[in-house]
Structure 1
Amino acid sequence: MRVRRGLVGLVAVLALAGCAGAPVPVTDGDSPTADLDSPPADPTGIDPNDPDDTAWTGTVVRVVDGDTMEVEFPNGEVDTVRLLGVDTPETSAESTSPDEFEGIPETDAGRAHLRAWGAEASAFAESELAGEEVTVVTGGDRRGGYGRLLAVLYVDGEDFNERLLTEGYARLYDTEFAKRDAYAAAEADARERGVGLWKFNESDYPTEASEVDDEDLPPLPDDGDYDCGDFDTQAQANAVLDRSPDDPHDLDADGDGEACESLPRYEVGAAALPVSP
């Protein structure tokens, strides 16, 4: 998602790649300029490390996350492609940065919202790309700081990078590239329409037991005894604990007043989830 730069990170990644037996990408030398506005009718590239090529046909063999994929090229090599110009949210708490997504607050709810949409972006990319034949087109800067191919991915002639922006799965990445104006317009339109990650409502993330209504609680099991596995969120478990302070269900194992602390605190409300096209 975010492309982290720095000499230390680059050395570490290349070292790990070498240990795993993966080919170390060629990063020196200038690449020819490609036309990113449309996929070439018949890409001739065979080797993603050939400095004379800018476009290849390949197959997506693994979706890493919403903006990173592994593609098998015609020469049999599998290389990592980082989608150019877009950034989908991170799915881990420590990597989530609401300040990178204008309008999303730097709050627990804002971070939970972005983590949820990071997962949605990954699932969307998996459903659209896994096993698909794609056209990979690189710009002038072929590889980023981690040695990944920086590219526009075309699926059946459609720019998948731009589609992520149009449908609200990603933000425009802060870098210069040939399609920046078109991508900026796609992001602006998605924000104006309030689609995808740009539709944020604090109330979609109940965190307090007092915010959980009875109808939001799971039904009482047949044996009359809740356990933590019956709840989706800690807020639900705390709501049951608040209603029965003597804790007949033993939800507060350590007696600190917080039930089922291993559960996620947040749940994305239905209004925050994407509508399938």
Structure 2
Amino acid sequence: MNVEPRTIEIDDGDTVAIHWTRDDVEAVRILGIDTPETRHLEHNIPYAQEFGEEAAAFARGAFAAATQVELLRSATLDPYGRTLAYLFLGGRNYSVLVVSARLAEESVTRY
């Protein structure tokens, strides 16, 4: 499914929110990777892990530069109710890009 890049909000390096409409927002946990956490007081994460902000900045830059984003959903949700999916930026798997940048670990066996 194609997604307008401007509708994507970066939560951290491995989670985004897609704003389909003003009232329809889909939280997406990106498959295949695990990045360090950023500070999220609402999730009881009082401080960012080392390289968490760098991973989020990488995601912001990658998605901002994308002219085409494709969403490939899994059939299941994660324990937090987020959609599990791969995201492709101009045909390139975002998970591979962020692992190649050494800002994520692969997590194929986890999700």
Bigger Cα Rg: 1
Which has a greater percent of strand?
2
Regarding TM over 0.5, the answer is yes
Once residues 37 and 100 of structure 2 are traced to their aligned partners in structure 1, the CA distance between those partners, rounded to angstroms, is 19
Kindly report which structure 2 residues correspond to 1:1-277, keeping only aligned pairs within 5 A, or say none.
56-59=1-4, 60-73=7-20, 76=21, 77-92=24-39, 115-130=49-64, 132=66, 133-139=68-74, 141-173=75-107, 175=109
Helix, strand or coil for the counterpart of 2:51?
Answer: helix
Post-superposition shift, 1:128? 1.2
Instruction: Please tell me the root mean square deviation across aligned C-alpha atoms, in Å.
Output: 2.7
Counterpart amino acid of 2:37?
Answer: E
Once residues 57 and 166 of structure 1 are traced to their aligned partners in structure 2, the CA distance between those partners, rounded to angstroms, is 24
Q: Which runs of 5+ in 1 are unaligned?
A: 1-55, 96-113, 178-277
1:89–1:117 CA distance, 2 compared to 1 (3 A): same
2:30 and 2:85 in contact (8 A); partners too: yes
**How many residues end up aligned between the 2 structures?**
102
Q: Which runs of 5+ in 2 are unaligned?
A: none
1:70 and 1:81 in contact (8 A); partners too: yes
Helix, strand or coil for the counterpart of 1:64?
Answer: strand
Post-superposition shift, 1:174? 5.8
Percent identity for Structure 1 against Structure 2: 31
Which has a greater percent of helix?
1
Which structure 1 residue ranges, 4+ long, deviate > 6 Å from structure 2?
none
Counterpart amino acid of 1:159?
Answer: N
Post-superposition shift, 1:166? 1.4
Counterpart amino acid of 2:103?
Answer: Y
Deviations 1:104-158 (A, max 9, x none): xxxxxxxxxx82311100011011114854100023x431111111010001000
Helix, strand or coil for the counterpart of 1:115?
Answer: coil
